A and B are shown apart, each in its own frame.
Chain A
Amino acid sequence: MEFQITIAGEAGQGIARSADLISRDFVSRGLYVFNYRDYGSLIRGGENFNLLRISNKPVYSNNWKSDFALVFGRFSGHHLKKLNMGGTSIGTLPGVKTSFNTHDMLKKIGAPSISANSILLGALYKAMDQPLNNLMTQMNVFGKHAGINKKAAQLGYDQYGGQVKPISFSKGKGPRYFVSGSEAVAYGAVSSGLDLYLAYPMTPATPVLHLLANLKNQDIRAVQLENEIGVINAALGAGYAGATTMIGTSGGGYALMGEALSLQGMSEIPLVVYMAMRPGPATGIPTYTGQGDMKFVVNGGHGDYSKVVIAPGDPLEAFERTTEAFYLSQKYRVLNVILSDKHLAESNYTFDKKPVVKVKPQRFLTKPGKNFKSYKVTADGVSPRAAAGTSLVRATSYEHDEFGYTTEDRGIANTMIEKRLRKARTLEKAVSKLSPVKTYGTGDNLVISWGSTKGAILDAIKEVKGTKFLQIVYLKPFPSSRVKTLIEKSKNVVIVENSATGQIADLIAENTGHSASKKILKYDGRPFGQKELVAKLRRAFK
């Protein structure tokens, strides 16, 4: 059993809220909902829409055609052409199969114009032959406005006389978690012992700032600072003072942070960066998705130094991997980037599992004595870390000796550079225990991808026989031998990436010597749809 609902309208008409109510209703009854949000860079007017793919089996992606469409924006008429055979549409526009004069209906019950969506929701429930009281229960989130919205929904339900396509399913068992990538990163960070979150707003990273700033009963602080350069330098200052710190941004802000990313490499102050991509270059398409900043992130920061880049593929992983990001960055005093994108950050996924956390969050702070060596040379390249104030602790952007005093001495410079680079091997060992790659399915056809494309790929390969999916979760340190072996064992290899060039192919070539020339790419700011990807994979593996 599977169906999809489109909800489209103008920004400010309650599109996202309606999608959330429907999602929560079906999830609460044990179904799996994937909620894709499509919105422009504007506050009022324009067009927003949500696609809700709903199934009794796990679904992690959307399709581009729906079975039901609620359309009530002036600019949403095009959705009427994106209905599956036998699909139906409800709305206020001419051309919809069942049209409502919501204006007059609302007037009759004395409801505000924002409640128009409740009328259409009621009608939709009738069209799906679903009990209205379920929706009503969800409407309680409206608080004192719940009553009038329920009234509007009842009116829509009663007055709907169009086509009914009953949705029938048996109630699913077990708990269901409905979560976005932003929520997972934010809560994963809190679970990892986050003290401070610093940011300058930039879509699609902003929801994490909002979530953490509004979090109650957790002793963490989220602070908006003057700009991204201020944010990252302050984060390093806070880390030096002993705080567990994360910052968040998107490509443009990450570019501004560049010099200080490199300062992290030299100062070795732990830092976690949440980097949520959108299509570039420059301002690009701000509210859409893309993976085109990957090489920039993997290679970013001037000079040679070790860092970690993790790309979770869904919110469950985002939660788990965020805990690893904190663990690795604190333990090995490295930069750890959690690489996400708009699609993962702002889509809601349904899970029936809890995250499995493999690491224990710790501060890894030592109690220093007098004459503390802030940069002690060690076999694994990791110098014990102390918080400022517990001794005369030093941190520096200059090359330095073990105490942190500036040096231009050739011998000391070599020793320190080599000490820092030894961390690369130490990190490789640590990361190899954290499942840096994941594989799904079996067959000679190999799909290689990373990040948010995971959802569509998992959903698609079920319909493409003999296909295995290799998900590269750790982009740095790169799990070279695992990737190499899998490529060598497969007949056909294809790269899937939400970018114009398929950057993972370059990373694979650099680290394994294998070139993957077949690529399925999408770079219009939209994620892969499930059926779309099935067709593209079939063509690629023909």
Chain B
Amino acid sequence: MKINMETPVQNTWCPGCPDFLILSAAKKAVSELVESKQAKHTDFVATTGIGCHGKIYDFINVGGFYGLHGRAIPVANGIVLGNPNLKVMVFAGDGDAYAEGISHFVHSARMNPNYALFVHNNKIFALTTGQMTPTTEKGFKGKSTPKGAPFIPMNPISIALEFGASFVAREYAVDIKNLTKTMKAAIKHKGFAFIDILQPCLSFHDFTEYVGKRIYRFKGPLEYTKAMKKAKEWDYSMNPKAKIPMGIFYKERRQTLEEAVDSKTWHTAHPKRKINARLWDSFKV
């Protein structure tokens, strides 16, 4: 049965924005999983941060939680604690996940909640009209850094590996075929499945040419030390000599957050709770 992935909301992304490609890949991944009966439509839930990426909440027909800037990840942590059966997709921006919400990003990698995290990495704060983020290359001239971004970029792939993410991948929004495939794998992975999706911002930071010329695919997942080595091949700078590896760096099955705390689908596990004022009796001396 074909499912409806469309919403009635008018799209407000810039024409040609690779966010459209991430949206189509996500819709495709979800509908394929539902149509092949691997999941129920109503099981899917998207959480988003605030930024251009966050608008995906309005454009994809799944349950959704449009959170605060930087907080798509902790909201998702709560969702899986509240109902471990939901299939959660977290759509975050690079500003979201790596600046405002970096603490949630690194600690969730350790805690290993079962959801897929898709970071729309345009190396820019797009919705606020073009300021540097933690993945912006040093020297980038933006409105807040007219003399060039003063800091070196961070590498979210090696950081995710260092903090114990159990699925780590990099994809390019323009390569929608591979993106869809890896997204599906991430949704199916049990644990914290992270994809850093390179998404050039046509309005404020168009690195299409730089990335397009340098990407290459490798056969993953790799063994941990090799994955780390591969992750460090590109440091998110605009080094002309760099090569950018694309694919799944690392994957392991490890106890998830929900498994660790033995969480339940609470409202069905306990549809009705009776008042238990008898608990007061335990204070009896």
Which A residues lie at the B interface, using CB under 8 A?
Answer: 24, 27-28, 175-179, 183, 187, 190-193, 195-196, 198, 219, 221, 223, 225-227, 229-231, 233-245, 259-260, 263, 267, 319, 323, 354-355, 357, 360-363, 365, 387-398, 404-406
Contacts and interface: CB of A to CB of B under 8 A. Distances in A.
B66 interface: yes
B275 A357 contact: yes
B9 A406 contact: yes
B75 to A, nearest CB: 4
A193 B270 contact: yes
Contact of A406 (B58, B77, B79, B270): B58
Interface string B24-59: 000000000000000001110101001000010110
Given A177-B280, A406-B58, A243 B267 contact: yes
A230 B82 contact: no
A469 B272 CA distance: 39
Given A233-B71, A389-B63, A396-B65, A191 B277 contact: yes
A405 B7 contact: yes
Given A27-B285, A233-B68, A405-B9, A241 B273 contact: no
26 contacts: A176-B285, A179-B283, A187-B280, A187-B283, A195-B270, A226-B104, A226-B111, A237-B81, A238-B79, A240-B75, A240-B78, A241-B79, A242-B267, A242-B268, A243-B81, A260-B68, A267-B65, A362-B272, A365-B267, A387-B267, A389-B42, A389-B43, A389-B45, A389-B265, A395-B65, A396-B66
B67 interface: yes
B78 A241 contact: yes
Query: Which A-B residue pairs are the 9 nearest by beta carbons?
Result: A237-B78, A241-B82, A193-B273, A234-B78, A242-B267, A238-B82, A243-B82, A233-B74, A396-B66
A187 B266 contact: no
Interface stretch (B14-22, B136-144, B256-264): B256-264
Contacts of A363: 267, 271-273
Contacts of B276: 190-191
Given A394-B63, A406-B9, 20 more contacts: A28-B285, A191-B277, A195-B266, A196-B81, A221-B81, A223-B261, A233-B75, A234-B77, A236-B78, A237-B75, A239-B78, A239-B82, A243-B83, A260-B71, A319-B280, A355-B277, A365-B267, A388-B83, A395-B64, A405-B8
B68 A259 contact: yes
B68 A226 contact: no
Contacts of A245: 78, 82
B78 A388 contact: no
Interface of B: 7-9, 41-43, 45, 47, 50, 55, 57-58, 61-68, 71, 74-83, 85-86, 103-104, 107-108, 111, 261-277, 279-285
B97 to A, nearest CB: 13
A191 B8 contact: no
Nearest to B47: A237
B285 A226 contact: no
A192 B276 CA distance: 8
B64 A404 contact: yes
A227 B74 CA distance: 10
A219 B272 contact: no
A390 B261 contact: no
Given A195-B266, A263-B67, A323-B275, A238 B81 contact: yes
A122 to B, nearest CB: 21
A406 B56 CA distance: 11
Contacts of A393: 63
A241 B86 contact: yes
Contacts of B42: 389-392
Contacts of A236: 65, 67, 75, 78
Given A388-B83, A391-B42, A360 B7 contact: no
Contacts of B64: 392, 394-396, 404
Contacts of A177: 280, 283-285
A233 B67 contact: yes
A229 B83 contact: no
A191 B41 CA distance: 35
A392 B68 CA distance: 20
Given A195-B266, A227-B103, A234 B81 contact: yes
Nearest to A354: B280
Given A177-B280, A230-B103, A230-B104, A388 B75 contact: no
A319 B281 CA distance: 12
B108 to A, nearest CB: 8
Given A24-B285, A191-B279, A395-B64, A242 B75 contact: no
A397 B279 contact: no
A27 B283 CA distance: 11
Contacts of B261: 221, 223
A179 B103 CA distance: 37
Nearest to B274: A361
Nearest to A178: B285
Nearest to B75: A237
Nearest to B81: A238
A242 B265 CA distance: 8
Nearest to B61: A392
Contacts of B81: 196, 198, 221, 223, 234, 237-238, 241, 243
Given A196-B266, A236-B78, A240-B79, A388 B68 contact: no
B134 to A, nearest CB: 18
B74 A221 contact: no
Contact of A175 (B47, B50, B284): B284
Contacts of B9: 405-406
Contacts of B269: 219
Nearest to B257: A223
Contacts of B79: 237-238, 240-241, 388
Contacts of A396: 57, 64-66
A175 B281 CA distance: 10
A176 B280 CA distance: 11
A476 B43 CA distance: 37
A226 B103 contact: yes
B65 A242 contact: no
A28 B64 CA distance: 54
A234 B266 contact: no
